[in-house]
């Protein structure tokens, strides 16, 4: 198994999107990339901690490659929107990836060079960062699974295409 964290807007929708993929074993929503140890949702939303809302994705690389996971991430959000996704605005909604080891970071950097920079060029705002992961509060875990009518910036059509592999 391998793990990597992604931030691409409100973590409720990002988590639900990743849950559609075969090979995703587990997801945990949380906060990463800031200055405060174990921040709360309210502290992160205050924009004073520097954390991003992220999803820690545990996946089976024999079923789902890192590259395909990256394809899904860049399909589900707009990597050219700085500190926002749709109506969600603020640095906590930034487009960011937190690798968990050096080989993974190298592969992500290679993916950027080979796939993203030719497509987006200077418009690409996604960053690759390091930082400790902190679990979000229980009410945020599996939020859309537990609240099917809840808010989400990602459209149903995206969830369907991720589930069927048509992205």
* pTM (two decimals): 0.96
Work out the pLDDT band at 19, boundaries 50, 70, 90.
very high
CB atoms within 10 A of CB 146: 11
CB–CB of 17/161 below 8 Å? no
pLDDT tens digits, one per residue of 86-144: 899 999 999 999 999 999 999 999 999 999 999 999 999 999 999 999 999 999 999 99
In CATH terms, the fold of domain 2-164 is 3.30.1060
* 45 catalytic residue (yes or no): no
Reported as a single tens digit per residue, the pLDDT across 132-145 is: 999 999 999 999 99
Q: Do 154 and 14 touch, CB atoms closer than 8 A?
A: yes
> Which segments of the chain are extended strands (E)?
2-7, 24-32, 52-59, 84-85, 88-89, 96-99, 127-128, 133-135
Q: Which residues contact 121 (CB under 8 A, 6 or more apart)?
A: none
What's the pLDDT at 140? 98
Residue 107 to residues 60, 66, 99, 101, 117, Cα–Cα distance (Å): 16, 8, 10, 10, 14
* Residue from 7, 8, 9, 10 carrying the catalytic annotation: 10
CB 29 within 8 A of CB 157: no
């Amino acid at each position: 198994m391998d793990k990597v964290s992604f931030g691409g807007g409100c973590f409720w929708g990002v988590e639900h999107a990743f849950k559609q993929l075969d090979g995703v074993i587990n997801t945990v929503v949380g906060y990463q990339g800031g200055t405060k140890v174990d921040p709360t949702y309210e502290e992160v939303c205050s924009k004073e901690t520097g954390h991003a809302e992220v999803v820690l994705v545990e996946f089976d690389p024999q079923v789902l490659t890192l590259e395909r996971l990256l394809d899904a991430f860049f399909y589900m959000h707009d990597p050219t929107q700085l500190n926002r996704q749709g109506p969600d605005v603020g640095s906590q909604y930034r487009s960011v990836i937190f690798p968990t080891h050096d080989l993974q970071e190298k592969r992500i950097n290679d993916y950027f060079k080979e796939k993203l920079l030719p497509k987006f060029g200077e418009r690409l705002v996604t960053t690759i960062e390091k930082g400790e992961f902190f679990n979000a509060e229980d009410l945020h875990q599996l939020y859309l699974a537990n609240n099917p009518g809840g808010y989400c910036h990602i459209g149903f059509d995206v969830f369907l295409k991720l589930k069927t592999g048509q992205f």
